[in-house]
């Protein structure tokens, strides 16, 4: 054992140990800020779990938005292969967020009630990054912007995202540029409104799926979009069941109906034609 330790030490002699004038791992990641941001208001042991799970989810959402923004820009340039790569990464990130609910579900109702009052009216319903994800996917609701009026800079950021074309908007324009007929009312639609199903878009996607060799990149893009919606709905379902498991049907801290609200949003669709054509193919 001693000989093995000596060999290991000898083989790793080039490991840096003097960081007097060099940046460390912790400094690069700003771990002092990240790891000092878990401030329990109640002092209850399980509040740490609650805070960390939600902070980690927000970090993952930050990366999702980064990748979606990049994908939108790539699609606008008809660089569909790069867009597919970024959207594939989004799907992998989504699996991580879904698994986070399994960790939070280890907290019992009795444990949560010990510190729930400390949250006041703060709620995940107010997550501005989640709203930006919804906006990027084409689900637009102007009334939620009121939540962020307290912070003018943040409100402006949300408003920009609200007024920007979403992932599906640019995908539909890519269909049009590929020579597939799309109604002008869709191409020129008000992107601050939630997307509504359209026959010309359904027919265009049907053509893509029936001619995959000719429209391979659009076909692959479509499947990446389906992946993202599929995983998002699974995330929503795990969210709903975790909330039901911990607080039942109590009202949410932010004033929503809680589980009832979470069940209703399970019926929302972002890319309706991509699901509709599966019955027709």
Residue in the block written with tokens 């042991």: 45
Cα 132 to Cα 65, 136, 164, 186, distances in angstroms: 8, 6, 10, 22
Q: Is 50 annotated as a binding residue?
A: yes
The token duo for 171 is: 């995908």
Q: Is 52 among the annotated ligand-binding positions?
A: yes
At residue 204, what are phi and psi to the nearest 5 degrees? -65, -45
| Residue where the block lists tokens 């402006």 | 156
53 is in an annotated binding site: yes
Instruction: Determine whether the annotation assigns residue 44 to a binding site.
Output: no
Angle at 60 between CA 109 and CA 93, to 5 degrees: 100
Question: Which residue in this structure is represented by tokens 């998002």?
Answer: 232
Q: From residue 120, how far is each of 70, 108, 248, 254 by CA, in Å?
A: 36, 20, 18, 8
Q: How far apart are CA 157 and CA 72, in angstroms?
A: 17
DSSP symbols for 178-217: TT----HHHHT--TTSPP---HHHHHHHHHHHH-TTTTHH
139 is in an annotated binding site: no
How many Å apart are CA 37 and CA 164, to the nearest integer? 32
Q: Is 239 annotated as a binding residue?
A: yes
Of the chain, the end-to-end C-alpha distance in Å amounts to 65
DSSP 147: G
The answer to whether 277 is annotated as binding is no
| Pairwise CA distance, residues 222 & 225, whole Å | 5
**Nearest alpha carbon to residue 75 among 177, 203, 191, 183:** 177
Residue numbers belonging to the annotated binding site: 50-54, 112, 116, 239, 253
Residue numbers belonging to the annotated binding site for substrate: 50-54, 112, 116, 253
Residue numbers belonging to the annotated binding site for heme: 239
């Amino acid at each position: 054992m001693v000989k093995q330790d000596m060999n290991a030490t000898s083989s790793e002699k080039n490991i840096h140990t003097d960081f007097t004038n060099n940046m460390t791992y912790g400094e690069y990641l700003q771990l002092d800020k990240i790891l000092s941001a878990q401030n329990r208001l109640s002092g209850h042991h399980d509040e740490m779990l609650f805070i960390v799970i939600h902070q980690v989810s927000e970090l993952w959402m930050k990366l999702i938005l980064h990748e979606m923004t990049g994908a939108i820009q790539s699609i606008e340039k008809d660089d569909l292969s790069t867009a597919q790569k970024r959207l594939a990464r989004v799907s992998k990130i989504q699996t991580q967020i879904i698994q986070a609910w399994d960790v939070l579900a280890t907290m019992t109702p009795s444990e949560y009630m010990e510190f729930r009052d400390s949250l006041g009216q703060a709620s995940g319903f107010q997550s501005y990054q989640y709203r930006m994800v919804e906006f990027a996917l084409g689900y637009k609701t102007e009334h939620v912007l009121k939540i962020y009026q307290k912070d003018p800079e943040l409100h402006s950021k949300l408003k920009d995202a609200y007024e920007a074309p979403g992932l599906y908007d640019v995908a539909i324009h890519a269909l049009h540029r590929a020579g597939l007929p799309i109604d002008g009312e869709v191409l020129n639609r008000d992107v601050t409104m939630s997307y509504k199903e359209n026959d010309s878009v359904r027919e265009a996607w049907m053509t893509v799926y029936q001619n995959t060799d000719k429209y391979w990149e659009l076909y692959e893009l479509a499947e990446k979009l389906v992946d993202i919606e599929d995983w998002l709905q699974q995330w929503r379902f795990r969210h709903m069941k975790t909330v039901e498991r911990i607080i039942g049907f109590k009202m949410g801290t932010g004033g929503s109906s809680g589980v009832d609200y979470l069940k209703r949003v399970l019926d929302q669709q972002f890319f309706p034609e991509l699901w509709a054509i599966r019955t027709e193919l």
